Amino acid sequence: MGWWLRLCWCLLVVIMLEGGHADGGEVTYDGRSLIINGQRQVLLSGSIHYPRSTPQMWPSLIAKAKEGGLDVIQTYVFWNLHEPNPGQYVFSGNYDLVQFIKEIQKQGLYVSLRIGPFIESEWNYGGFPFWLHDVPGIVYRSDNEPFKFYMQNFTTKIVNLMKSEGLYASQGGPIILSQIENEYQNVEPAFHEKGPPYVLWAANMAVGLQTGVPWVMCKQQDAPDPVINACNGLRCGETFAGPNSPNKPSLWTENWTSNYQVYGKGPIMRSAEDIAFHVALFIARNGSFVNYYMYHGGTNFGRTSSSYVIAAYYDQAPLDEYGLKRQPKWGHLKELHAAIKLCSTTLLQGTQTKFPLGTQQEAIVFEENTGGCAAFLINNDTHNNAIVQFRNISFQLLPKSISILPDCKIVAFNTATVKKKFNNRIMTPVQTFDLANSWKEFNDVVVNFGDTSLKSNRLPEQTSTTKDKSDYLWYTLR
């Protein structure tokens, strides 16, 4: 089938499916991909965190992600928001996880739910509620009975909530993937002999909750079966050692679209071309799930961000802090996704071969017995164009680029060819504080030394004293 004919067919399918639902079913996996309702899937995902936006924004954010060619929305679950006190739960307003997931389902996308419950995410206390700090004998993220008790309790709470709402794909819902723990291998050596048994316990605990969908551990190369080990980073097509079993698929849970910004530093930039190159490379090397972290970063409201992280989170993502499309990143990735989807069947069913086209050039080709063919022509030279011969056709490859040929003949997309122009964000003041009555004065009450009940012969430790309710602590010394 010619490339243009395949494109028209794909456009027809998109039109026919518009307004449909990504209803779930049985979710399994093999060494090639996740399998949903018996069908292998190449899945493109984006992180959108519900508490970093508002419920009024959720429909628009999800719609723009879908328009951009995504299949999945990924989010963490924020323990300290949902259980501010032991056994007291909050799932309303900006914290309405169920409403957020149902909106994703309504718009026909899947969900990847990263329960953690340690999430990092440049979030206050890594997502842990501060009251854990006062549990006697607790050691976080370790083979420690007090910690495991509360971690299992919260994880079970979230899983049961999802089950009660019928949100797992095994129940017909949109959740196709769950995550337990988060980049633990980075810190595991610090826990010595208490680290490995904790990993095994966390995996077994999660699987034992019987969600009916696979579990993943990111940056955990020894993730115990049947949990899938996944990659986080900028260049997982180059750095990922791969699944730790031939029966597991290659998943990229965090493809960093920029980075978080800290006070005193400028924004971290990552080009659309660089992101597209590494996504195409990961897919060409048998990757089948790529998640953009973040697709929409949003806002760290109140005191939710970790130390030094500014309120605007991943403002350089494809959707900026306010949910506006950031070009050319959003549009370039949309074109990449369309090209990948043109050849997804061949990628999942074809036989892969690799061969050099030059000293720094390579072809990765997928071919089906039925005649389907897709090719990725790679130029790793960062400075020079390359002229290569592929199947008796001459192709010019731009520096550090990948050309995708859904029919092994015509280039549908080149990662370095950016057609979208940069756009500018225009801000218009809607309110000015230029009158005295526009301001209010707030006074802190300074307690007299003789009136306070909290006295010590040494300076009290900040967080133990404030219980994370304030960033400020008054000291009076006598």
CA-CA distance, 29 to 228, in Å (whole number)? 10
**Which helix (H) or strand (E) segment is 102 a member of?**
helix 97-106
CA-CA distance, 322 to 299, in Å (whole number)? 8
| 351: Cα separation from own chain's centroid | 29
The answer, yes or no, to whether the previous bond of 16 is cis (omega within 30 of 0) is no
Nearest to 473 by CA among 439, 444, 436, 441: 444
Per-residue pLDDT band at 444 (split at 50, 70, 90): confident
Is pLDDT of 25 > 90? no
Residue 251 pLDDT:
98
Residue 24 pLDDT:
63
Q: What is the mean pLDDT of the chain?
A: 93
Per-residue pLDDT band at 323 (split at 50, 70, 90): very high
Question: Using an 8 Å Cβ cutoff, are 295 and 317 in contact?
Answer: yes
CA-CA distance, 118 to 191, in Å (whole number)? 16
Facing residues of 387 across strands? 396
Per-residue pLDDT band at 15 (split at 50, 70, 90): very low
The residue with greater pLDDT, 464 or 136, is 136
Question: Using an 8 Å Cβ cutoff, are 9 and 255 in contact?
Answer: no
Determine how β-strand 373-379 pairs with β-strand 287-296.
Answer: unpaired
Is pLDDT of 11 > 50? no
HSE-CB for 468 with a 13 A CA cutoff: 20
Per-residue pLDDT band at 19 (split at 50, 70, 90): very low
Residue from 103, 122, 188, 254 carrying the catalytic annotation:
254
CA-CA distance, 405 to 413, in Å (whole number)? 7
Site of tokens 């060819």: 417
**Helix, strand, coil share (%) of the chain residues, nearest 5:** 30, 25, 45
Return all residues near 252 (Cβ < 8 A) that are at least 6 apart: 230, 231, 232, 236, 240, 282, 287, 289, 290, 291
Nearest to 171 by CA among 71, 20, 23, 40: 23
pTM for the whole structure: 0.93
Per-residue pLDDT band at 462 (split at 50, 70, 90): confident
Q: pLDDT digit string (tens) for 168-223?
A: 999 999 999 999 999 999 999 999 999 999 999 999 999 999 999 999 999 999 99
Residue from 165, 183, 367, 368 carrying the catalytic annotation:
183
Question: What is the pLDDT averaged over residues 312-333?
Answer: 98
Residue 18 pLDDT:
35
Per-residue pLDDT band at 16 (split at 50, 70, 90): very low
Nearest to 295 by CA among 67, 24, 41: 67
Question: What is the pLDDT averaged over residues 456-463?
Answer: 88
Residue 472 pLDDT:
83
Residue 322 CB neighbours (<10 A)? 14
Residue 28 pLDDT:
98
Residue 22 pLDDT:
63
Per-residue pLDDT band at 23 (split at 50, 70, 90): low
E strand spans, 398-465: 401-405, 413-414
CA-CA distance, 94 to 99, in Å (whole number)? 10
Query: Residue 242 has which token pair?
Result: 């791969």
Is pLDDT of 384 > 90? yes
Spell out a b/e string for 277-294, using b for 16 or more CB atoms within 10 Å of the CB, else e: bbbbbbbbbbbbbbbbbb
Question: Using an 8 Å Cβ cutoff, are 429 and 446 in contact?
Answer: no
CA distances 372 to 152, 363, 405, Å, are 47, 16, 11
CA-CA distance, 298 to 51, in Å (whole number)? 9
183 is catalytic: yes
Question: What is the pLDDT averaged over residues 241-245?
Answer: 97
CA-CA distance, 174 to 239, in Å (whole number)? 30
Q: pLDDT digit string (tens) for 342-380?
A: 999 999 999 999 999 999 999 999 999 999 999 999 999
Residue 434 pLDDT:
87
Nearest to 121 by CA among 269, 304, 279, 291: 304
Q: pLDDT digit string (tens) for 390-438?
A: 999 999 999 999 999 999 999 999 999 999 999 999 999 998 888 888 8
Question: Using an 8 Å Cβ cutoff, are 454 and 460 in contact?
Answer: yes
Q: pLDDT digit string (tens) for 53-110?
A: 999 999 999 999 999 999 999 999 999 999 999 999 999 999 999 999 999 999 999 9
Q: Please give the single-letter amino acid code of residue 332.
A: H
Rounded-to-10 torsion of CA 51, 56, 59, 60: -100
Counting residues of the chain whose pLDDT is more than 70, the rounded percentage is 95
